Amino acid sequence: MIGTESKKQEILKAYQFRHACKTFDVNKKISNEDFHFILEIGRLSPSSYGFEPWKFVVIQDEVLREKLKSVSGGAQGQLPTASHFVVILARREEGLRYNSAYINKMMKDIHDMPEEVVKGVSSSYKSFVETKLENNDLLIFEWACKQTYIALGNMMTAAAQIGIDSCPMEGFDKKQVNAILQNEGIIDGNDFGVACMVAFGYRNEDPKRPKTRQNLDEIVEWR
């Protein structure tokens, strides 16, 4: 019990520590070991059907960061100062069809499913895409984007637990960011699209006021 209570307090402390850091200390860099830990948390995050419809692109090149800055109004302070800047991509609809090469690879090669299990999962997934997502390209891509936020949240929480700051961002022109990454040969527009961005580093200064949130009884209802 003592260990459990200690762990709970450690997690709560990390959430109190974490805030949306707008600028970072350019003189402090995250170690390779610590950043690998953050990426590993993203890799191990859950996803629907276990299909992992994401990719993490770590942008460290200053010239590329400057290009992204010109079309990312919400990342003006983070792009020049973050120790590590990550663009999270979501797999596009073509790769998420029930009979796509990627889905088959995930079932057979990654999850090592027996053939009879593959048939059952494939049938269930096909039904899901056709009924819940209406076989609609936009809805399929949005579904993939939503899942990237699971990995995003886990990565930021893990970073906070080891004293590393972060800031998630949607304040950018998706079409232009996609175009820049395609021109750089980083993504193929038919395979991936940009879901969100996140910056990691060490804060320049502490927040000017304590974290504020609604009370628990204002946001939770028991029935």
H/E segment holding residue 89: strand 84-91
- Domain regions of the chain by residue span: 25-203
CA distances (Å), origin 10, targets 4, 59, 113, 158, 180 = 10, 30, 38, 11, 40
Cβ atoms of 197 and 98 within 8 Å: the answer is no
Q: Looking at residue 200, what is its pLDDT?
A: 98
Cβ atoms of 92 and 192 within 8 Å: the answer is yes
Owner of token pair 């820049």: 180
What class does CATH assign to 25-203?
A: alpha beta
Reported in sequence order, the residue ranges of 21-68 that DSSP labels E, i.e. its strands, are 54-59
Q: Looking at residue 173, what is its pLDDT?
A: 98
CA distance 52 to 144: 9
Q: Looking at residue 190, what is its pLDDT?
A: 83
Owner of token pair 């859950």: 46
CA distance 18 to 160: 6
CA distance 223 to 221: 7
Q: What are 125-140's pLDDT values in tens digits?
A: 999 999 999 999 999 9
Pure H helices in 162-210: 174-183
Given a cut of 70, the residues of the chain with pLDDT beneath it are 1-2
